[in-house]
């Protein structure tokens, strides 16, 4: 399994207090030192719309691309349109994340385009990025329900995924932008995606709006999902959805899997300290839990 830290993008984009670039660099370095696999440094959006992302180009140029053959994390960036892709290519993005919302209202609020319009543009952008030798992951946002439109037909989600596959995209993420997902739905939808193409690499992105974040993560894992996106301290929320709520907290996610014997190589204590640093910066308690309680000591054993 792989862990994709999206705190610097999805975690911060809704925050009104703009985080200085040097502090973002520090948080990226702390994430990397903890052993996470992918770190999303930001999104290439207009700074007037999301001021928090105004320094995304600087972050990529400062931190530089991962040196192949070493154990450093992959750096990803989110793009919504051709201009964003152009900027990302210019500053050395290694992995492009792009997507289409399955909710018509959310799509128009987030991108100014209908679902069909966005799909045509995103698949064309994905081909261009792949032709440039970049890793591409395409997501279906609001895949499990839309804060504006309510339930989303699963057939619509699968139609978008099918278009991705036909465009040659092999990595697909389903994002619970509104936090409406429940475990049975998660299993059903991810298995349906895998039936379209058993070779597809699936990723899951859950928000904890109604307290089901980790339950949905486990359901996705049981359904064969290999990559999980989360944010330090549980920060985040799409500023263009109806009810914005935080992501699954990275330290909670890693702690859960480590209790079951997965990914002992990741430094959960480093993630906890990162979340505590973020909480100190914003001077408030964050939604995550483990950074407050501290992780369990898995090395301690009771006598049989």
Active-site annotation holds for 97 = no
d(CA 180, CA 185): 10
Of 281, 279, 276, 277, the C-alpha closest to 294 is: 276
Secondary structure of residue 169 in the 3-state scheme: coil
Are 138 and 169 in contact by the 8 Å Cβ rule? The answer is yes
Alpha-carbon distance of 59 to 8, in angstroms, equals: 10
The residue among 122, 82, 81 whose CA lies nearest residue 99 is: 122
Q: What is the dihedral angle through the alpha carbons of 157, 226, 81, 39, rounded to the nearest 10 degrees?
A: 150
> What angle, 0 to 180 degrees and rounded to 10, lies between the N-to-C axes of helices 268-282 and 250-259?
160
Q: How many whole angstroms from its chain centre is CA 47?
A: 20
Q: Find the catalytic residue in 91, 97, 238, 268.
A: 238
Both ends of the chain: CA-CA distance in Å? Answer: 31
**DSSP state at residue 232:** G
40: part of which helix (H) or strand (E)?
strand 38-43
Residues classed as catalytic: 238
């Amino acid at each position: 399994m792989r862990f994709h830290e999206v705190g610097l993008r999805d975690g911060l984009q809704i925050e009104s207090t703009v985080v200085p670039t040097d502090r973002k660099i520090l948080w990226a370095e702390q994430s990397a030192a903890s052993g996470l696999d992918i770190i999303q440094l930001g999104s290439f959006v207009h700074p007037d719309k999301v001021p928090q992302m105004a320094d995304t180009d600087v972050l990529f140029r400062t931190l530089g691309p991962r040196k192949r053959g070493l154990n450093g994390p992959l750096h990803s960036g989110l793009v919504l349109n051709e201009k964003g892709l152009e900027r990302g290519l210019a500053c050395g993005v290694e992995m492009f994340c792009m997507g289409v919302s399955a909710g018509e209202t959310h799509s128009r609020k987030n991108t100014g385009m209908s679902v069909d319009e966005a799909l045509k543009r995103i698949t064309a952008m994905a081909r261009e990025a792949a032709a440039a030798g970049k890793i591409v992951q395409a997501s279906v946002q609001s895949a499990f329900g839309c804060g504006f439109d309510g339930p989303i037909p699963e057939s619509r989600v699968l139609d978008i995924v099918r278009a991705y596959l036909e465009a040659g995209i092999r990595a697909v993420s389903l994002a619970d932008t509104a936090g409406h997902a429940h475990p049975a739905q998660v299993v059903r939808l991810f298995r349906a995606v895998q039936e379209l193409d058993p070779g597809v690499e699936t990723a899951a992105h859950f928000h904890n709006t109604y307290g089901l974040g980790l339950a949905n993560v486990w359901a996705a894992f049981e359904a064969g999902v290999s990559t999980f996106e989360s944010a330090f301290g549980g920060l985040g929320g799409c500023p263009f959805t109806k009810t914005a709520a935080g992501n699954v907290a990275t330290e909670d996610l890693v702690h859960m899997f480590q209790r079951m014997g997965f990914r002992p190589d990741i430094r959960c204590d480093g993630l906890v300290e990162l979340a505590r640093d973020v909480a100190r910066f914003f001077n408030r308690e964050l939604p995550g839990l483990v950074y407050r309680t501290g992780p369990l000591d898995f090395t301690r054993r009771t006598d049989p």
